[in-house]
Amino acid sequence: MFPKNGLRESIPVNRKNDMKFFVDTAEISEIAELNDLGMVDGVTTNPSLILKSGRNILEVTKEICDLVEGPVSAEVVSLKSDEMIAEGRKLAAIAENIAVKVPLTWDGLKTCKTLTDDGFKVNVTLCFSTNQALLAAKAGAAFISPFVGRLDDINIDGMDLIAEIRQIYDNYAFETEILVASIRTVNHITQSAIIGADVVTVPPAILKKLIHHPLTDKGLEGFMKDWAKTGQKIL
């Protein structure tokens, strides 16, 4: 998996789409700011983010769906499949771009299969193993959400999981998109792109850090000093 240059090997695959950025938040102002820059291909929410927003889940989800064109993940909160299915259908009725988010349990997979057969997109979340990802793809998931940061927290390299899922999905031409979640650092995003993940879902603060480099700051500082010495103005 690791060649001499230290980068994980990636399997060349012809993909038509660019890597997609989903924003991992339920804060409307944060989504709107990044959306205006063309940096939002979708949004992911979860019960914790809804709590943080202080908003009603149906109202804030509808507002997000009206703001962005891409998939908006809204998560069910029941644990039994019949209740999950009912909740999923209610969430899916909010807007056409809803992706119903379900946990990676047997009941979650049952819900995934039912909602997928109904024509809805499903995001299967809380994935921590390749076997789980394989099951989700077999159940028809539109997205699989492996949590790399939480694996890192227990001294398991989360990016190894992304590389393994990419290889398995490519081996069998699964159409399920790999949505890298629980991103904690800009390096997670870089490595996801190198491996060939389809989507990264990123907190706005981490996404904004992609722009920073000390040599950019140093170079700009030098240019500004030299420009001041010219005594000129453009406007």
CA atoms of 227 and 231, how far apart (whole Å): 7
Q: Which two tokens stand for residue 122?
A: 């499903």
Out of 4, 101, 121, 218, which one is annotated catalytic?
Answer: 101
Write out the H or E segment, with its range, that includes residue 63: helix 57-67
Residue 27 C-beta-side C-alpha neighbours within 13 Å: 10
Of the candidates 160, 167, 192, the residue with the CA atom closest to the CA atom of residue 179: 192
Paired residues of 72 in beta bridges? 43, 98
85 and 105 in contact (C-beta within 8 Å)?
no
Residue 113: CB atoms within 10 Å:
17
CA atoms of 98 and 123, how far apart (whole Å): 10
* Helix, strand, coil in percent for the chain, rounding step 5: 50, 15, 35
Residue 101 designated active-site: yes
Catalytically active residues, by annotation: 101
